[in-house]
Structure 1
Amino acid sequence: MSSYRDLLKTRGVARIIAAQLTARFPNGMLSLAFLLHIEHTYDSYGVAGLVLAALSIGQAIAGPLTSRLMGRWGMRPVILTAMIICALAISTIALFPLGIAADMVIALIAGLSTPPIQPAVRTIYPKMVNSSQLTPLFSLDASAQEIIWVLGPVIVTFVSIQIGTVWGIMLAVAFLIGGGIWFLTSPELGRVRIPRSKRKLGVVLKKPPVMLATVVGFLLVAACAAIEAGVVSTFGEGGAEAGIVLAIFAVGSLVGGLSLGHKPIGPWALARRMAIVFVGTAIAAAWLNIWWLAVFLFVAGIGIAPALAVMFAIVSASVRFSDTAEAYGWVGTGQLIGAAVGSALAGFLIDGIGAVGAFLVAAVLALLGFLVPLLGKRFHPDLRGRDASPLPDTEPVATITG
């Protein structure tokens, strides 16, 4: 734990982690807020699903595009413009019910304009700490983001039910704007400029570690989405048990990230961490009892944040600095698609054979998430004793100090 204490004492690290988590807090709120609001407005979960699908499609498309634009126009202009458009689009859905088709179009715009906070901050990290601190920093970041998924749904559900669904959405907008301004005013954004990439969009995916992280990230998040659907189906939407089990699942990820984040990253690192997720998920599927699920989903969770941290590190160590934001954008897109696919597959199996079907889907996805890095070991960089910082570009990178 001393490595994390040293990290948080490093200039700007605690501030930038807190700012980006606040700015990304709507990620844990918007899906549920839209679900509650659209269902309340149109009395249809099907319509709510269409609006959420449009939002997810927009976010998936935006990932690499807005990330790449940061190298062309700068981080602050891109994030600020996206934040304003996204906030206006989300607010329009909350305040002005314009019809199903219009709400879908506006949700697509909201997704397309989602501020690229995550690619930006993961591009900044290598410039804030020394090489020995970078992997623990990625792990700390992956662990801390569990706060978004634990507190976000709880807060937005409470506000939407107790006060109103419009207020639930507008609270997410408040986090988006407040956290975004905090992040934009952080000095670190002014000290680092992403060089303009000279490569075509998507070329970075030819880097095997980037593709490996994108595919495994897709499978990991798909498995998590299936687990969430299975837990909700097991205990019902209104049951406190579902919230308790999912919170324990997230706490497992937090504990795993803090416990394993300082471990050296060898060529087997990603496979080992995904093995933890698979074993915990497979055993959890055997008995849908609250305590059984709580214990073994906690075990499965232990591998999640460490696996994400490994993905961030191998991407960072494998691409040029000018390509890091786009690379993280593709990884994020893979995860967003995974969330949609995992939920959809789980839904089909739940309708067919019951809640256990979702856990079987999750176990299969987690198994694939273990096999891909196991069979693709030769594409996994060995970062033991090696700097995980991005490769330098061939031309000088401007750094502003002051």
Structure 2
Amino acid sequence: MAGSAGYRELLRTTGVGRIIAAQLTARFPNGMVSLGVLLHVEQTTGSYGAAGLVLAAASVGQAVSGPVTSRWMGRWGMRPVLTLTMLVCAASLIGLALAPPLLGLLMVLGALAGLATPPVQSAVRTIYPKLVSARQLTPLFSLDASLQEIIWILAPVLITFISTQIGTVTGLLTIVVILVGGGAWFILSPEVGRVRIPPSRRAFGKVLARPAVLLATVTGFLLIGACAAVEAGVVATFSHGGLEAGLVLAVFSIGSLVGGLASGRIPIGRWAMARRFAIVTVGLALTMISLNVWWIGGTLFLAGIGIAPALAVMFAMTTASVKFSDTAEAFGWVGTGQLIGAAAGSAVAGFLIDGVGPTGAYWAGVAFAAVGLIVSAVFVRGFPDLRHRDPSPIPDTEPVGTIAG
């Protein structure tokens, strides 16, 4: 178990605290965009269906662009790619805020905003192995996976308050301000300028041939699919209960934060992912007993304990299984898997909520998590054993086949 002293030592390492704070700020809009766009498009067009189509266009754009823009960072450098995508994304969101309520135009702007989402996650997780010692890398991935929950706790509350109390245009423009301010802070960080990603010599998409990268992408799809389904279920359960939905989802994220911080120094073996999925599956299965707010809050706190640790395993196994020049693209694919999982989980849950009520969404969440547990157990040999070595990338001078995926 990682104690606070271990994290203090980690944060005292030159540049670590700064780059964590900068990347969290740069990624903060990720927790605001969906709600901000949903509220704005629904208000301007009077249609939730139209809002859903614009969000779908943005999600497709983001899923398509992740591996591509991440790979570009090896060709043209991190700063140019991050700057270009940030500016195009900001311009697209400004366009969404000010454009007339024409569905086709709004969908194009939404797709463009998604395509231009800055690949901050891929960049920072490529930088991490160059910032800390080998023994600190796994705790750093755990800390990163834990602290990102702050985004999902605070960002939806902030954008909902601004959009409903001040206006949806102000909400979208607030996202732009944070996107540009946080993005500039991250881009101008010395660590971003010092780390150079060598251009990948492999064909685009070939990194998915690595078993660990493919498994990280698939398990990420299933884990985030489970979370998205449950989030839809919580909103449907407590939609008429005032603050309950927001508080229950915050407790879900707090459970993940606690789990991630507690697991930072637990060695990552081949069964690590299966154990973490087991916690999530059991917690979500227990939600089926009662839809009482206290029971749901408690069971989701339990399920949340496995989420950040599972994400940390995905980050570590990805880094440990590819050459440094391929890490950014690999993380782009993992991110795309998670985006598709979020869309799939929400869609399946929505269909089941309409058909059988909120309970159906929890069943969907359990199903996604259970499949993740089965995949993690059946393909356990595909997960790298990192108990006796650090998850540093394979040097580009070393044949990629020397480390089992």
- Please confirm whether the aligned pair reaches a TM-score higher than 0.5, indicating the same fold: yes
* Equivalence map 1:47-196=2 (5 Å): 47-97=50-100, 99-196=102-199
SS of alignment partner, residue 385 of structure 1: coil
After superposition, the C-alpha distances for 1:170-229 in whole angstroms (9 at most, x for unaligned) are 111111100000001100011110000011110000000000000000000000000000
| 118-127 or 182-191, larger mean C-alpha shift | 182-191
SS of alignment partner, residue 58 of structure 2: helix
* Partner Cα separation in structure 1 for residue 381 and residue 9 of structure 2: 33
* Partner Cα separation in structure 2 for residue 252 and residue 7 of structure 1: 22
Alignment counterpart, residue 359 of structure 1, candidates 337, 362, 365 = 362
SS of alignment partner, residue 289 of structure 2: coil
After superposition, the C-alpha distances for 1:131-164 in whole angstroms (9 at most, x for unaligned) are 1000000010000000111100000000011100
* Equivalence map 1:210-221=2 (5 Å): 210-221=213-224
What is the match of residue 284 of structure 2?
281
* Equivalence map 1:185-334=2 (5 Å): 185-236=188-239, 239-334=242-337
| Alpha-carbon distance, 1:285 to partner | 2.0
* Partner Cα separation in structure 1 for residue 214 and residue 289 of structure 2: 33
SS of alignment partner, residue 14 of structure 1: helix
CA spacing shift, 1:69–1:354, aligned 2, 3 Å: same
SS of alignment partner, residue 266 of structure 1: coil
What is the match of residue 401 of structure 2?
none
Residues 45 and 101, structure 2, Cα contact 8 Å, conserved in 1: no
Residues 41 and 101, structure 2, Cα contact 8 Å, conserved in 1: no
- The TM-score, its normalising length taken from structure 1, stands at 0.97
Alignment counterpart, residue 28 of structure 2, candidates 25, 31, 51 = 25
Tell me if 1:342 matches 2:345: yes
Residues 213 and 334, structure 2, Cα contact 8 Å, conserved in 1: yes
State the AA in 2 paired with 1:297: L
* Partner Cα separation in structure 2 for residue 358 and residue 216 of structure 1: 19
State the AA in 2 paired with 1:141: D
* Partner Cα separation in structure 2 for residue 190 and residue 110 of structure 1: 25
SS of alignment partner, residue 391 of structure 1: coil
After superposition, the C-alpha distances for 1:106-153 in whole angstroms (9 at most, x for unaligned) are 110110010000000000000000010000000100000001111000
* Equivalence map 1:362-401=2 (5 Å): 362-394=365-397
Q: Between the two proteins, what is the percent identity of the paired residues?
A: 64
After superposition, the C-alpha distances for 1:346-376 in whole angstroms (9 at most, x for unaligned) are 0010001000000000001000111111111
* Partner Cα separation in structure 1 for residue 213 and residue 382 of structure 2: 9
* Partner Cα separation in structure 1 for residue 277 and residue 18 of structure 2: 30
| Alpha-carbon distance, 1:286 to partner | 1.9
* Partner Cα separation in structure 1 for residue 262 and residue 72 of structure 2: 36
- The TM-score, its normalising length taken from structure 2, stands at 0.97
* Partner Cα separation in structure 2 for residue 143 and residue 79 of structure 1: 24
State the AA in 2 paired with 1:144: L
CA spacing shift, 1:57–1:226, aligned 2, 3 Å: same
After superposition, the C-alpha distances for 1:295-342 in whole angstroms (9 at most, x for unaligned) are 010000000000000000000000000000000000000000000000
Tell me which stretches of 4 or more aligned residues in structure 1 moved more than 2 Å.
Answer: none
| Alpha-carbon distance, 1:102 to partner | 0.7
* Partner Cα separation in structure 1 for residue 328 and residue 79 of structure 2: 14
* Partner Cα separation in structure 2 for residue 247 and residue 103 of structure 1: 31
CA spacing shift, 1:251–1:242, aligned 2, 3 Å: same
SS of alignment partner, residue 167 of structure 1: helix
| Alpha-carbon distance, 1:95 to partner | 1.4
Residues 122 and 329, structure 2, Cα contact 8 Å, conserved in 1: yes
* Partner Cα separation in structure 2 for residue 144 and residue 24 of structure 1: 12
* Partner Cα separation in structure 2 for residue 70 and residue 372 of structure 1: 32
What is the match of residue 403 of structure 2?
none
SS of alignment partner, residue 163 of structure 2: helix
| Alpha-carbon distance, 1:237 to partner | 6.2
State the AA in 1 paired with 2:246: G
Uncovered stretches (5+) of structure 1, i.e. residues with no partner:
396-402
| Alpha-carbon distance, 1:284 to partner | 1.1
* Partner Cα separation in structure 1 for residue 282 and residue 100 of structure 2: 45
State the AA in 1 paired with 2:349: A
* Partner Cα separation in structure 2 for residue 262 and residue 8 of structure 1: 15
| Alpha-carbon distance, 1:97 to partner | 2.1
* Partner Cα separation in structure 2 for residue 5 and residue 373 of structure 1: 32
* Partner Cα separation in structure 1 for residue 64 and residue 178 of structure 2: 23
* Partner Cα separation in structure 1 for residue 396 and residue 390 of structure 2: 16
* Partner Cα separation in structure 1 for residue 166 and residue 386 of structure 2: 50
Uncovered stretches (5+) of structure 2, i.e. residues with no partner:
399-405
* Partner Cα separation in structure 1 for residue 279 and residue 38 of structure 2: 32
| Alpha-carbon distance, 1:261 to partner | 1.6
| Alpha-carbon distance, 1:239 to partner | 2.1
